[in-house]
Amino acid sequence: MAIRRLSLCVLLSGLAAFAAGSSSHAQSVDETLEPYRMLRSLQFVQDTVIRGDHSAADMQRFMLGTIDERLRTADPKIFQDPRNVDAALIYAMSGGNPATLELLVARDIEGNFDNRVSDALRKYLTGKGTLIAKTLGDMAVEYKNAKIGPYLALVAGNVTLAKDPAAALKFYDWARLTAPGTIVEEAALRRSLAVAVDAKIVDKASLYANGYARRFLYSPYASQFADLFVRFVVEHYDVLKPADIDATLGYMDIDRRREVYLRVAREAAIAGRKELATMAADQAKLLSGSEEGADALAKLYGSLVGVPTENVDDAMAVLMNIPEDALSPRDRALRQAAETVAKEVLRKPEPMAAPQTPPPVEAPQSGEAVESAATDQDLQDPFAQPQPQPADAAPGEAEVRPAAAEPGTPPAEQAEIDPELRTFVDAGRSKLDAIDDLLQKEGP
């Protein structure tokens, strides 16, 4: 690691000197520097970023811009060297400017570029990749041992995913196995986990999650991995082995492990999965130490599942004793939703001579908890890092990030209620409706 950091420092120093030099000197260097050599520097910087050195993100943007200029001003004769052709294609698949590939292909009168590959990539980069999924898949197989092989495999997996998830997994596996330790492997592992979770392939999902946590826990995209892992545990806890969960979490430090358990507890509580919510909340408490806020959240999520049960009094006593300032606005709204359900559980049944419509469930007033739930952020995610710009996206990927709610947006323009709170309230309400139905059948 020390050698890698030293190499990065040398690289950055050299590039900084190049950028700061006179324009005439920069021009002379630019004319002699081969694109494939510049690409190696870009790949080195990208791989450094996904290993956790986010200070190199600015250099990544600089390198993309520098390579773009070099390719646009290059003498077409340099592309007689296949290494420079590969460099141009890899640049395009690594977050580069798609228009530059268009320009190079238009200038290629000697046939240095494989028109099949360049045409397929141009369609992919303009959002039409699904139309040529089979073509890209065939090319990925044909070029699997070439320099562009891992990148084509990653792209082929992206466009194949919608129609054939199993085939997409094979492409991702090939990409990560032929480019270990690189941004290609990081992207392939992350996508593979998402595919396996969606397809309910539990054994593979466990392997992908373990591999990602072991190798790329400090990547700027690790927050996406955390979201996927929490969803994986909540949706498949019935068939998951505790050892598999522990194996993945074992690569994390205490703070990250605690936050993952808190997020699992929250999602499980909202979904009504009592056993999982209790287990995750207990684990979070053990890892909280003297941190009051984390302990308060563990109590909140661990007690929520007891609200629509016979232990409602005990659960609400714990919930009401949690300090208000220890909860985010969104979690205060969640506690208010639990209180709404608790009132219905404790409501005495009314004599019913004839079928009656149950009284409406009290909901949080708009503009109070509901507005907070719709606009405030969830738990602070320790995985979250400053996200790169779209030019920094992983190969073959344009990272899409949710936009934050605009400050001061009128409540009428926001969602009526947080979907998670609606799930929690509806789950409690369904149990109460079942009880009312039984009472009606028994008669007065």
pLDDT digits 0-9 by tens, 210-233: 999 999 999 999 999 999 999 999
Choice between 391 and 305, residue whose per-residue pLDDT is larger: 305
pLDDT, tens digit, 9 for 90 and up, residues 117-176: 999 999 999 888 888 899 999 999 999 999 999 999 999 999 999 899 999 999 999 999
pTM for the structure as a whole = 0.70
How far apart are the C-alpha atoms of 213 and 222, rounded to whole Å?
Answer: 9
Closest CA to 86 of 15, 137, 145: 145
Q: Provide the sign of the torsion angle of the four alpha carbons 265, 269, 273, 274, taken in this order.
A: positive
| CA 407 vs CA 59, 375, 393, 410, 419: distances in Å | 32, 9, 28, 9, 20
Would you place residue 375 in the very low, low, confident or very high pLDDT band (cuts 50, 70, 90)? very low
Choice between 265 and 336, residue whose per-residue pLDDT is larger: 265
Q: Provide the sign of the torsion angle of the four alpha carbons 406, 411, 412, 414, taken in this order.
A: positive
Return all residues near 311 (Cβ < 8 A) that are at least 6 apart. none
Residue-by-residue DSSP string for 243-290: HHHHHHHTTS-HHHHHHHHHHHHHHHHHHT-HHHHHHHHHHHHHHHTT
pLDDT, tens digit, 9 for 90 and up, residues 251-302: 999 989 988 988 898 888 888 888 888 888 888 888 876 665 667 777 777 6
| CA 159 vs CA 3, 141, 195, 207, 336: distances in Å | 38, 14, 13, 23, 44
